[in-house]
Amino acid sequence: MPRTLKLPFAVCGDKIIHISEVESGRQINCLCPVCNTRLIARKGNLRQHHFAHDTGTNCNGESALHWFGKHLLLEAIDRALTEGCTIPMEWQCDQCDHKHDGNLLKKAASVALEQVLGEARPDLLLKDATGKPVVAIEVIVTHEPEQSARDFYLKQNIVVVEVRIKDGIALEALKDLRELKADAVSFCTRKKCPDCHAPLRPKMLNIVVGDCYRCHLPMKVAFIEADGMGFPSSAFSPQEIECAKKQGCILEVRYSKTVNNRYLANVCPKCKAFIGEHYMHNYSCRDDSIEPIQTGWYCSDCNNHFPMKG
d(CA 92, CA 99): 4
d(CA 124, CA 84): 19
Dihedral angle, C-alpha 229, 234, 240, 242, nearest 10 °: 150
Banded model confidence at residue 285, pLDDT cuts 50, 70, 90: low
At 233 the pLDDT is: 79
Average of pLDDT values for 175-201? 92
* pLDDT single digits (tens) 198-216: 889 999 999 999 889 999 9
Residue from 221, 207, 214, 209 nearest 270 by CA = 214
At 3 the pLDDT is: 44
Q: Residue 305 pLDDT > 60, yes or no? A: yes
Residue from 72, 185, 86 nearest 137 by CA = 185
Confidence (pTM): 0.76
Q: Residue 288 pLDDT > 50, yes or no? A: yes
d(CA 310, CA 307): 7
What count of residues does the chain have?
Answer: 310
Q: Residue 287 pLDDT > 80, yes or no? A: no
Q: How far is CA 236 from CA 1, 57, 244, 245, 296, in A?
A: 63, 70, 9, 12, 11
Average of pLDDT values for 242-258? 93
Which distant-in-sequence residues (6+ apart) come within 8 Å of 97 by Cβ?
A: none
Using an 8 Å Cβ cutoff, are 155 and 166 in contact? no
* pLDDT single digits (tens) 64-82: 999 999 999 999 999 999 9
Q: Residue 186 pLDDT > 70, yes or no? A: yes
Q: Residue 56 pLDDT > 80, yes or no? A: no
Domain boundaries, the chain: 9-59, 64-185, 201-307
At 96 the pLDDT is: 86
Catalogue the E-assigned strands of 95-216: 99-103, 110-113, 124-127, 133-140, 159-164, 180-181, 184-185, 201-211
